[in-house]
Amino acid sequence: MAASAQRNMLGLPLEPCSTQPVTGFFRTGCCETDEQDHGRHVVCAQMTAAFLAFSANRGNDLSTPRPGFAGLRPGDRWCLCAARWKEALEADVAPPVILAATHESAVEIVERTALLAHALDSHALN
């Protein structure tokens, strides 16, 4: 899958977050966004058991399979709502972030330093 025309946290073309499972508001595999995406699904995160439990407790069960959705497991990557990632950060269960696949607009909701501190690909900053 090719990178998106939209930009990531590194100022480069937005890279895919996941195609197995296919993620993103538009189900393109990228955390692309526009005015239709009211939830701002712009943070590419690698799921953890703690985050999945936290999300389920908040009313968004991402683990349970449903028609057309196999359910997420720890290690899967998914485009999260920036506000939910920020809630998880405040609860000390924020999952790791992939900067190259996180949309640049995430910083409108989450402090850039917090995203950088949780980045799996912080080496990309060098």
Q: Where are the domains of the chain?
A: 1-126
pLDDT mean over 71-99: 97
Whether the bond between 21 and the residue before it is cis, its omega within 30 degrees of 0, is: yes
The pTM (predicted TM-score) of the whole model is: 0.93
Is residue 82 over pLDDT 70?
Answer: yes
Is residue 113 over pLDDT 70?
Answer: yes
Whole-number pLDDT of residue 69: 87
Whole-number pLDDT of residue 123: 66
DSSP string across 96-115: PB-GGGSBGGGGGTS-HHHH
- On the 0-12 / 13-18 / 19+ scale of CB atoms within 10 A, 10 is middle
pLDDT mean over 3-11: 88
For tokens 């195609």, the residue is 19
Q: Class of the 1-126 domain?
A: alpha beta
